């Protein structure tokens, strides 16, 4: 289940440079002019997880398969996009299709990189995109209100009434210049507007693209950004996208290790970004481990065992009988499935079992 995170931002903030760094399957063009990215580039990226390679060490399988997430490089936005300015309609349609947003914001000064919005101001840049997404959502919500209002007010359809109440709540929020995600809608409320795929309901991860000197400490720009998003329950990751692009191009592990040490880094910032995007989507990982293959599987937090089995094959869910489960820490402690079983750490779980992050699982099914 490859979920998508869309990389967005104003023109020339480092979006495509970040995509080039983060993607191991595609390269986006990164140039110093507006609308360099027109068609969205898509890259399938491995989610770094040290647990997978610990299991490889213990099991010694024929192959190892990490779980993945898709990153989409979306065209740069300009003011007025909600009314079709620039590539606005295309940009907004592309955002509507992704599961989460990675918002890249320029937090460095460089006279050699074009900027039409005036002096560097990350808070203002963020608000430009927020406003365009809010205006588009408001248009969508108001259209739906017009269609449901009469049915809701006649009182004959409780579902329509609930939908109308949620829509009005969203309308008020957007008119105040706030994002839908700030409402903290209940599951029932979210289902009432699920068909609208509202842009400002999507979870957001902010990437503060800083200069080299600010890589570890951030700067006044990144700190201003962090302060401005405190009420959003959002994360801000400080990175230098150019450095990350250089690291990603290195094939020799020794060269990469040396380069990281020069910048006093223990790992690429991209690893933090990928893990954060994964977490942002409320995803967890379970593993299957055997001689043929050790593999990581992506599921949503809160999924039960049959749903988790379905990502391997739909037949596994249809014919689900039981799941054999070993907690990751127990697997590592005892060193093998056999030893974990012998020490009573292998559990047999049924259809109501909520899968935990790191579970090592084997499914019994019948079709």
pLDDT at 78: 53
The binding site for ATP consists of: 12-17
Does residue 277 register a pLDDT over 60?
Answer: yes
- Is residue 296 in a domain? no
pLDDT tens track for 37-91: 445 678 888 888 999 999 999 999 999 999 888 888 886 555 554 455 444 456 6
Same domain as 223, residue 94 = yes
pLDDT tens track for 121-165: 999 999 988 888 899 899 999 999 988 877 777 766 777 888 888
- Is residue 297 in a domain? no
CA distance 77 to 94: 11
The binding site consists of: 12-17
Rg of the chain on CA atoms, in Å: 23
Residues spanned by the domain of 166: 129-200
Specify the CATH number for the domain of residue 218. Answer: 3.40.50.300
Mention every residue, 6+ apart, whose C-beta is less than 8 A from residue 320.
305, 306, 309, 351, 363, 364, 365
Q: Last residue of a domain, which of 200, 220, 242?
A: 200
Q: Last residue of a domain, which of 140, 174, 200?
A: 200
Report whether 225 contacts 122 (CB < 8 A): yes
pLDDT tens track for 210-227: 999 999 999 999 999 999
> What is the reported pTM?
0.81
- Is residue 19 in a domain? yes
CA distance 6 to 159: 32
Same domain as 133, residue 218 = no
Distances (CA, A) of 32 to 35, 76, 207, 258, 270: 9, 12, 19, 30, 22
Specify the CATH number for the domain of residue 151. Answer: 1.10.150.300
Same domain as 207, residue 272 = yes
Same domain as 9, residue 69 = yes
Same domain as 114, residue 211 = yes
Specify the CATH number for the domain of residue 335. Answer: 3.10.20.30
Same domain as 184, residue 244 = no
- Is residue 291 in a domain? no
Q: Last residue of a domain, which of 248, 280, 312?
A: 280
CA distance 67 to 275: 11
Domain count, the chain: 3
Same domain as 92, residue 25 = yes
């Amino acid at each position: 289940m490859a979920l998508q995170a869309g990389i967005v931002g104003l023109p020339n903030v480092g979006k495509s440079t970040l995509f080039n760094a983060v993607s191991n399957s595609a390269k986006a063009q990164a140039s110093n002019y507006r609308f360099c990215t027109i068609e969205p580039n898509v890259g399938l990226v491995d989610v770094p997880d040290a647990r997978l390679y610990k299991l490889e060490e213990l099991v010694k399988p024929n192959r190892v398969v990490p779980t993945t997430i898709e990153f989409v490089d979306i065209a740069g936005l300009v003011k007025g996009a909600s009314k079709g300015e620039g590539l606005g309609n295309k940009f907004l349609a592309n955002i509507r299709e992704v599961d989460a947003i990675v918002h890249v914001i320029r937090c460095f000064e460089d006279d050699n990189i074009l900027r039409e919005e005036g002096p560097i101001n990350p808070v203002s840049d963020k608000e430009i995109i927020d406003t365009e997404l809010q205006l588009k959502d408001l248009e969508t919500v108001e259209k739906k209100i017009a269609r449901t209002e009469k049915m809701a007010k006649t009182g004959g359809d409780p579902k329509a009434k609930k939908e109308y109440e949620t829509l009005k709540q969203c309308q008020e929020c957007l008119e105040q210049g706030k994002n839908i995600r700030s409402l903290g809608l209940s599951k029932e409320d979210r289902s009432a507007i699920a068909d609208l795929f509202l842009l400002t309901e999507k979870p957001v991860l902010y990437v503060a693209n800083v200069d080299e000197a600010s890589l570890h400490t951030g700067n006044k720009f990144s700190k201003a950004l962090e302060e401005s998003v405190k009420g959003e329950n959002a994360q801000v990751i400080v990175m230098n996208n150019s450095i990350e692009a250089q690291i990603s191009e290195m094939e020799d592990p020794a060269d990469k290790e040396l380069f990281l040490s020069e910048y006093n880094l223990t790992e690429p910032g991209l690893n933090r970004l990928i893990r954060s995007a994964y977490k942002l989507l409320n995803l967890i990982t379970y593993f299957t481990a055997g001689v043929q293959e050790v593999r990581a599987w992506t599921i949503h937090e809160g999924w039960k065992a049959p749903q988790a089995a379905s990502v391997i094959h739909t037949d596994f869910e249809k014919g689900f009988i039981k799941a054999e489960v070993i907690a990751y820490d127990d697997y590592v402690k005892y060193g093998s499935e056999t030893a974990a079983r012998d020490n009573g750490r292998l559990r047999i779980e049924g259809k109501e079992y909520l899968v935990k992050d790191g579970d090592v699982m084997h499914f019994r099914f019948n079709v």
